[in-house]
Each structure stands twice: as C-alpha cells, then as structure tokens.
C-alpha cells in the first residue's frame, strides 16, 4: 500500500474533504445568521436589543464623579413662594414641653390641580341691507360660532394639546380624552378630539403648502420612508427633513414619483438618503446626492463580526477607508486645499481598488456589497466635496421615530382624510419645534384664526 504522500487519489480526496468541511462551516454560519434574523422579525422586543454586548457597564446610580461641581437645587424666588408654618407645640410622643427649638426649611415644587375653564360667548348678529348678508360678532378666542346642538365645542388650548399628543407624541385620542378627564376634569370624547384635529388640519392646509414650497428651495433635504396603512390598504409614510423644515406625506406609492412630486423636478439641493432603489431612478440621475454612511458602517461591522479567514479582509479594509473619510472631514479646516484634495484622492483610489469589478470575490456577501458601492460610488463622498453636506441620513431617521410610535400605538389611519390630517399636523408640529416656536401657542392661534393662518417660516429657511 502506497503512502498518502505518494498517492494522487488520497491527496485529491483530502483536498475535497477540507473543501467540504469549509463549505459546511460556512453553511452553518449562514444558517445561524438567518435564524437570528428570523427571531428578530418574530419578536417585538428584539429591535431594541444589541447584537453585541457593550463593554460600558452601568455603574452605581446617582451623580457620577467628575461631572462638575455639586450644588443644591435653588429654591423658587420670594415672589412665587408660598410659606406654610408647621408648629410643634409639644412632644408628639409624651405630650411634654420642648426645649431648644429650631426652625428648618424644606422647599417643595408641585403643579396645581387644573380645572377646566368654561366660557359662554354671547354674540350678536345683524343683517346688512347694503351687503345683503347677515354678520355675527366673534370673540378672538372662539373656535366656532355654531349654536344649538353644535353650540358646545372644545377650546383652542385643549385642541392644541390633543393634536400634539396624538400626532407628535403618539398618544391615542382615547388616552388623551382620559387624561383630560382625570387630570383637568374636562369631559371630552375621543371622536371630538379626532374631529378637532381634522379641523385644525383643514385650517393649516395653506401652511402645509407653504412648507412644501419651502422644502424645495432648501440646500439639503434628508428623505426616508416607512411602512404605513390606510384602512386595509398598504401605504408608506415619507419624510423630507432639512435643518429648519420637516414635511411628512402618506402615499400608497413607494416609487420615485413621490420624491419628484414633493421636491420638484428642478430640485437643486443635496438629497440625503439610503440605498433604496427609488432614489436611484433615472428621474433623479442629475441630482446631487449623499448616501448614508451610517448604513454602510453598520452593515460592514456586522460582516466583520460574522466573516472568518480571508472573507473578513474586505469589510475590514472598506471600514478603514470609510472611517478615514470621516476623519478627513473633521480635519478639513486644518488642511490646505491642496493637501485636502491629495488625501481625498488617495481615499478614493483605495476604495476603487477594493470594490473593483475586476476583483474575484469568493464570498457572495462581499461581492454583493462591492457591487452596491460601485453603484453608489459617485454619491459616497459628496459630504467631502460640498460644504454643509452631512455624511449620514440621521436627520430623516430621527424624524421617522415619532411616526413609528404613532403606528405602534394608534394603528396608522383608517381613512385617507385621517392620513392627510396626520401628515399636515405632524409636519407643522415638527417644523414649529425646529423654528423654536411654541407648538401649543401656535396651534391655539391656528384654531382661532378666521382668515390667513400664521406662517411658520423664518425669512430665510434652509
């Protein structure tokens, strides 16, 4: 019997055995990854978990050392302070007299028990023979002039609070009505709050159209979308956010036509987005775009953790290049234009070599990711070549979070008019906070306005 080293068949079988073992290990890793993803899709709590435990363990509760000088909470000023004396005349235990009495101060801040304010507006009406119309007086704080069965309505402040709770904080109308009843003593039904929000949205329609016009002139817009429902129909909630303006819209389409309709065909700013194919349409081919670096870094980090042996080199090397690009952005102010251009050219050259189509990728995940980077190559480093461009799409991601809460707690919308109401009010509430305008005050004034609603926009939005 010949030795294994001299037997060609034995060497062949041994090589095939090693290859099959490696393939089995790869398949096991893929199965584990797919099962893990399946568990994520099934369990509601999993999206809040972490794939990798953090090394930063929580310490003892309370104030941490090194966080500044410790100081007591200051008591309220004298003009707002109510002083109550609590005497101690005798010993509470035996009833005997007390010696060496001392005075102590304890400050307590609380909120008053709120009670609803009921008003009856006695108005007058008269007929004008010249205009041939009947006119009625109206108080500036009246939200309606209805009489009879419809003569009792919800005031502007309650309408504003209910709209903010529903369309920004994600509290249902039923829970808002319960809060008004238990905290404020105001008896109101959830249907009344729903109708008041619809009337607010109708009055705010011109403001919403103004926001749509203004977002088209912004120098940078972050776009994203998430699943939604209108009744039993599938829909998508889109968000378009700049530094000072945010616009929501709910459509049954997830195609590029929504982007073109909202931003216009002549959009001249930078569109920040992820790699969803709607943003790669031919209609947007001439637009300046920046793809989200956070998505790339997250996916590459996952690949780096899951890959083994030679397959881990690709995600590790691409991660290093992208992180070097972010570091170059932070150092741009310290570098001369020539030095910055030289370093940027070097980074681009390294990335092009890593994702080149001429490379033979043995790992399918690496091959697919390299193909995606080649497709988005001209949209990767816009944040380095144009001033004021952000590297991520985090602004749109943050703007979607309230909508996800509304979807979780309120179940989206039952009708198209309800979807329109949510899009209008959510846009106004978010933009008002960006413009540093009090949302309750603004919605209250909107509920009472009779003619043109007050504008939300600063003189030079962007």
CA atoms within 13 A on the CB side of 60: 4
Q: How far, in Å, CA of 336 to CA of 322, rounded?
A: 21
Over its length of 462 residues, how does the chain's per-residue pLDDT go in tens digits? 455 556 778 888 888 888 888 889 888 888 887 887 776 665 554 454 555 555 555 666 666 666 666 566 677 776 678 888 989 999 989 889 999 889 988 888 887 777 888 888 888 888 888 988 888 888 888 777 777 777 777 888 888 999 999 888 888 889 999 999 998 888 888 898 999 899 999 999 999 999 999 999 999 999 999 999 998 899 999 999 999 999 999 999 999 999 999 999 889 999 999 999 999 999 898 899 999 999 999 999 999 988 888 889 999 999 999 999 999 999 998 999 999 999 999 999 999 999 998 888 888 999 999 999 999 999 999 999 998 899 999 999 999 998 888 888 777 888 999 999 999 999 999 999 999 999 899 998 888 888 888 888 865 444
- CA 340 to chain centroid, in Å, comes to 33
Question: pTM for the whole thing?
Answer: 0.77
CB burial class (10 A; 0-12, 13-18, 19+) of residue 351? buried
Residue 429 has a CB neighbour count (10 Å cut-off) of 23
- The residues that bridge with 288 in the sheet, in sequence order, are 270
Nearest residue to 317 via CA among 266, 362, 354, 363? 354
- CA 217 to chain centroid, in Å, comes to 22
Q: How far, in Å, CA of 285 to CA of 153, rounded?
A: 52
242 phi/psi in degrees, rounded to 5: -115, -170
Residues in Cβ contact with 453 at an 8 Å cutoff, skipping those fewer than 6 apart: 203, 204, 206, 207, 446
The pairs formed by 347-355 with CB atoms below 8 angstroms and a separation of 24 or more are 347/321, 347/381, 348/381, 350/321, 351/318, 351/321, 351/322, 351/377, 351/380, 352/377, 354/314, 354/317, 354/318, 354/321, 355/318
Q: State residue 8's pLDDT score.
A: 75
User: Which residues in 7-120 belong to E strands, given as ranges?
Assistant: none
Q: State residue 5's pLDDT score.
A: 59
Residues in Cβ contact with 311 at an 8 Å cutoff, skipping those fewer than 6 apart: 362, 363, 365, 366
Query: Domain segments of the chain: what residues?
Result: 293-385
End-to-end distance of the chain based on CA atoms, in angstroms? 83
């Amino acid at each position: 019997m010949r030795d294994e080293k001299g037997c060609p068949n034995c060497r062949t079988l041994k090589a095939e055995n090693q290859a099959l073992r490696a393939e089995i290990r790869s398949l096991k890793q893929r199965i584990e990854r797919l099962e893990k993803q399946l568990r994520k899709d099934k369990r509601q709590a999993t999206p809040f978990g972490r794939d990798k435990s953090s090394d930063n363990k929580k310490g003892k509760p309370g104030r941490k050392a090194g966080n500044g000088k410790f100081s007591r909470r200051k008591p309220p000023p004298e003009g707002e302070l109510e002083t109550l004396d609590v005497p101690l005349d005798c010993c509470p235990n035996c009833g005997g007299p007390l010696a060496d009495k001392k005075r102590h101060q304890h400050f307590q801040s609380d909120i008053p028990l709120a009670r609803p304010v009921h008003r009856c507006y006695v108005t007058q009406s008269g007929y004008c023979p010249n205009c041939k119309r009947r006119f009625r007086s109206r108080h500036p704080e009246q939200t309606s002039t209805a009489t009879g069965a419809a003569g009792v309505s919800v005031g502007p402040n309650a309408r504003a609070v209910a709209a903010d709770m529903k369309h920004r904080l994600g509290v249902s109308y039923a829970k808002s009505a319960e809060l008004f009843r238990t905290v404020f003593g105001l008896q109101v039904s959830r249907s009344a709050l729903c109708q008041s929000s619809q009337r607010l949205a109708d009055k705010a329609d011109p403001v919403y159209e103004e926001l749509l016009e203004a977002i088209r002139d912004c120098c940078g817009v972050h776009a994203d979308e998430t699943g939604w429902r209108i009744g039993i129909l599938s829909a998508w909630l889109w968000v378009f956010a700049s530094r000072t303006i945010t616009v929501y819209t709910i459509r049954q389409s997830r195609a590029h036509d929504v982007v073109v309709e909202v931003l216009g065909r002549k959009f001249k700013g930078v569109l920040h987005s992820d790699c969803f194919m709607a943003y790669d349409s031919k209609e947007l081919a001439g637009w300046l775009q920046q793809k989200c670096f956070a998505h790339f870094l997250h996916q590459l980090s996952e690949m780096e953790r899951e890959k083994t042996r030679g397959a881990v080199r690709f995600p590790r090397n691409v991660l290093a290049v992208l992180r070097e690009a972010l570091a170059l952005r932070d150092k741009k102010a310290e570098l001369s234009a020539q030095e910055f251009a030289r370093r940027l050219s070097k980074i681009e050259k390294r990335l092009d070599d890593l994702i080149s189509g001429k490379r033979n990728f043995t790992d399918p995940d690496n091959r697919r990711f390299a193909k995606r980077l080649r497709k988005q190559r001209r949209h990767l480093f816009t944040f380095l070549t144009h001033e004021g461009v952000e590297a991520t799409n985090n602004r749109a991601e943050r703007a979607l979070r309230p909508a996800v809460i509304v979807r979780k707690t309120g179940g989206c919308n039952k009708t198209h008019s309800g979807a329109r109401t949510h899009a209008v009010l959510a846009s106004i509430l978010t933009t008002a906070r960006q413009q540093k305008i009090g949302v309750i005050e603004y919605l209250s004034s909107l509920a009472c306005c009779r003619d043109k609603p007050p504008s939300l926009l600063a003189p030079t939005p962007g």
